Amino acid sequence: MTNQPSPASSAGKPSALVRFDAFAAMLGDRRPAVFLDYDGTLTPIVERPDLAILNDSVRAVIRRLAGLCPVAVVSGRDLDDVARHVGIDNLIYAGSHGFDIRGPGLRTQIGEEYLGDLDAAEADLGRRLNGVEGALVERKRFAIAIHTRRVAAERKAPVGDVVREVAAAFPNLRVTGGKEIHELRPNVPWDKGKAVLSLLDTLDLAGPETLPLYLGDDETDEDAFRALAARGEGCGAGIRVMDPPAPSAAAWSLKDPAEAGAFLDRLAGWLVEG
């Protein structure tokens, strides 16, 4: 990959690509465990989820990296959906923000007892938003996403009001947000951060010989950045993919998915060099 890095960092965070030598020095002789968001991190944000197609060159980089260190994809997408889009066998995939996890010899599902509430809320949202042009209600196994990117500006706030009203009728669910999206999830203390920490324990990667890295671009990825930061200084690295700059619990930054792909390529090359 030949993408040239942007010299600017985001919100005062050093660029993990521009300052890769410093990043590698922080990593030292530890093996990275790499956790990747999908939309906005590996692919650009697009109008509809089905249009977010992973570039073949980035797929090749991820496949190469997975042969050198543990790699997991942690996405808000449905598990089967994100696995199909990434298209690499034998990776660990965590869908629905970590509520649904699958990998070699690994299967975890959190919140199955809330599926009935999600079914009922999905039906209610479908009825109430049916006449809103551009509103997309997307059911995942453990979440409901309401996409507003194609909704007229004056209708976006009312859509949010409907989502909150529906959520109020289902106390077992909670509302979260992101870029042009509202989501209903099981109201349990589980998120991408807790999923990452659970995977570190399950895969025996929580020791000092491993440095977990998390790349993400959105509000839900902040849960993972905070979880890694809470492990202590030098015990995890969050990398926020963002432009323009925004506040983040991540210590490092990348400008866009092109830079994310270039960083992963550089990391794979560094691991090969040993």
Q: What CA–CA distance (Å, rounded) separates 20 from 254?
A: 11
Question: 243 catalytic, yes or no?
Answer: no
Structure tokens at 40: 């906005």
Stated as kind and residue range, the H or E segment containing 144 is strand 143-147
Cα–Cα distances in angstroms (integers) from residue 136 to residues 63, 150, 237, in the given order: 32, 8, 34
Considering the candidates 21, 37, 50, 223, report the single residue annotated as catalytic. Answer: 37
Please enumerate in sequence order all residues whose Cβ is within 8 A of that of 122, keeping only pairs 6 or more positions apart, or say none.
137, 139, 144
Cα–Cα distances in angstroms (integers) from residue 54 to residues 78, 97, 167, 213, in the given order: 16, 19, 33, 20
Both ends of the chain: CA-CA distance in Å?
20
Helices 257-273 and 20-27, axial angle in degrees (round to 10): 50
* Residues belonging to the active site: 37
